[in-house]
Structure 1
């Protein structure tokens, strides 16, 4: 399995690094069964995160035609208000340090990223994944209507508003769409992806290496509907 983790201006570093390290370790544990790279819609470039100006480097352009996994992180900044409007005069690679998360997520819609993500969604050989606000990027791009997904608990209402069936769970598996909740869920998401795509023994080995136990039940649209408790 090859994983492409997307960088965009203002991304949350933990949303990227947590699954990157888990998947990279899974590649080592599986003898090369998993590979992972950092990409951007624009191609190779330095990308400034939303946390203290930390920079990570995309080494390639996002390729929606490549089979495997594509993962969208969330953004890091002020909590802000859902109705805040992005300043489209801010150029790529630049941002003000006081910008709100909804603004940073909305700005991705002005780039080539939505079109690339749509092509990826329409590719039967691609599994889309997202952590935290990354699910909102997919939803605001109109790519998740009718699907089941999760995001940070502060964004669940926004998911509902875009026609997504929002689930208050740490990890939601909706077939070719797998999403994680708040930022630390990136660890759990990475481990679950290893379990699903490579096998539980590989996932367990990485879990032991990282001294981290996944928590919560992975939500799937399976089994009987529970009665109201």
Structure 2
């Protein structure tokens, strides 16, 4: 499995690093059955995340023709409009998440994600607000997906069946909720693509036990408790 994890200005670092490390370790444990790289819509460049000045380096351009999996992170910022610092009275400079997502949507990223969406051999994946990017790119209409709990209403408003679950597997679309769920997403993808033994070995290596049940639109629909 060849995975590309997308960087854009203001990305949430943990949305990227958690699945990156899991997939990279899976590649090591499987003798190279998994590879993972950081990419951007613009090509190789340093990309500054939304927390402080932390930057990661995209080593290539997002290219669905070279990928089996394209993973989109969310953004790191304020959940509301910037206010004023209580001590200085100055307006805070950290930007709201929705501004960072809108900025990513104004690049070539939606076009490249559509190419990935239209390729039957590519699985789309997202952590946290990455699902919002996919939805606002018009790629999730009628699909089952999750995002950070504060964004579930926005996801539903974009025509998505929003599910309040940690990981949602909808076939060629696999999404995860809040930032730490990227670990669970990565482990689920390893189990799905290269088997439970590899996923278990990486889970042990990271001393992390997956949380919750991976939600799928299968089986009986529960009645109210």
Q: TM-score, normalized by length of structure 2?
A: 0.94
3-state SS in 2 of match to 1:52: coil
Show structure 2 runs of 5+ residues with no match.
83-91
What is the CA–CA distance in structure 1 between the aligned matches of 2:70 and 2:60, rounded to whole Å? 13
Provide runs of 4+ in structure 1 moved above 2 Å: none
Alignment of 1:6-25 (within 5 A): 6-25=6-25
**Which residue number corresponds to residue 31 of structure 1?**
31
The one of 168, 181, 195 aligned to 1:199: 195
- Per-residue Cα deviation, 1:44-90 (whole angstroms, up to 9, x for no partner): 00000001110100000000222410000000011126xx9xxxxxx
Quote the Cα distance in structure 2 between the aligned partners of 1:223 and 1:66.
34
- Aligned match of 1:116: 112
Structure 1, unmatched stretches of 5+, are 85-95
Query: 1:173-188 residue pairs with structure 2 within 5 A?
Result: 173-188=169-184
Task: Please list the CA deviations of residues 133-178 of structure 1 after superposition, one character each: whole Å capped at 9, or x if unmatched.
Answer: 0000001111100000000000000000000000000000000000
d(CA) in 2 for partners of 1:204 and 1:24? 14
Residue in 1 aligned with 2:130? 134
**Mapped contact 2:46–2:57 kept (Cα < 8 A):** yes
Secondary structure at the aligned position of 1:219 is classed as coil
SS in 1 for 2:65: coil
CA contact (8 A) 2:4 2:67 kept: no
The TM-score with structure 1 as length reference comes to 0.92
* Total equivalences in the alignment: 216
Match of 2:89 in 1: none
User: How far apart are 1:97 and its partner, in Å?
Assistant: 4.2
CA RMSD of aligned residues (A): 1.2
